[in-house]
Structure 1
């Protein structure tokens, strides 16, 4: 087998999905982003995808409890839970990770991190993101780089803001208003395209507007 190649063995006995991956080791840093207290959204998405790719999501969601009865499955669960715990700890800055070291399951670490750092519905965080978006201009960035940064900030704002529409019509009108805000900030050479985009009906999404440019 080639170096770095992965081989999985899976079964569902006892409710435990058995996964053996040659590249899985405790020292592996599964996320390019380390949790520092201010980047939870990107960190959790990155770690969640890496863990899901190894079919171990149940350890962070809590949907894969410690099995009873079968000693081999019990031992496997202890091992895989510890593996996921180590991945999560290694994906945090040392000043952050020390507060999670004494927790005994990956699910507890994942839940505690969300409770401490997710800030979902945090109006202060949403306000800071709106400030960044209002001041964000294309300037010397390429269109692709500007779009990537703009899209990332809007996705974060969608996560943090607490607005909930009462009915579907209100939700549609709100989304249309938001999408119009998202095409601002382009350089002057794109003014004609921006006018065309703003005059479209139905109004395009940010992705659709980017495709038009």
Structure 2
């Protein structure tokens, strides 16, 4: 199952991306373990290409509204850290407020269960 990052699914999305990157031996580009060689080093171009590849994979796994916010990230690690900062907060006050508003504004009809209301 392929999922796109949206405003509500960072935790399962990040787990899926982490597994995918680990399977491609590219996890080090988001977790800070990749050692970037000096620009004079012949391995620099390969490292930079791999970093851009990881950025592209992450961008392609986002909904367009999310992509637009992060489109100018320079490295895969900075992109990942920015995503975690914005979407990975368990105590994200703005998301809590948004959910409270959705619950407050939702109306239950007589033939709808509570779980069906939450699923909308």
Instruction: Find out whether 1:54 has 2:24 as its counterpart.
Output: yes
Question: Superposition pairs for residues 35-114 of structure 1, below 5 Å?
Answer: 35-68=5-38, 71-114=41-84
> How far 1:100 sits from its partner (Å)?
1.3
After TM superposition, where is structure 1 displaced by more than 3 Å over at least 4 residues in a row? 121-125
Residue of structure 1 aligned with 2:87, choices 110, 117, 120? 117
Structure 1 residues 122 and 98: CA distance shift in structure 2, 3 A:
closer
- SS in structure 2 at match of 1:98: helix
Question: What is the alpha-carbon distance in structure 1 between the residues aligned to residue 2 and residue 69 of structure 2?
Answer: 21
Cα RMSD for the two superposed structures? 2.5
Structure 1 residues 54 and 117: CA distance shift in structure 2, 3 A:
same
* TM-score, normalised via structure 1 length: 0.43
Structure 1's unaligned 5+ residue stretches are 1-30, 137-213
Structure 1 residues 69 and 95: CA distance shift in structure 2, 3 A:
closer
Structure 2's unaligned 5+ residue stretches are 104-113, 116-120
Structure number with greater CO (CA < 8 Å, separation at least 6) is 2
How many residue pairs match? The answer is 101
Question: Superposition pairs for residues 16-27 of structure 1, below 5 Å?
Answer: none
> How far 1:47 sits from its partner (Å)?
0.5
Question: What is the alpha-carbon distance in structure 1 between the residues aligned to residue 90 and residue 30 of structure 2?
Answer: 19
Question: What is the alpha-carbon distance in structure 2 between the residues aligned to residue 117 and residue 108 of structure 1?
Answer: 14
Question: What is the alpha-carbon distance in structure 1 between the residues aligned to residue 91 and residue 81 of structure 2?
Answer: 17
- SS in structure 1 at match of 2:71: coil
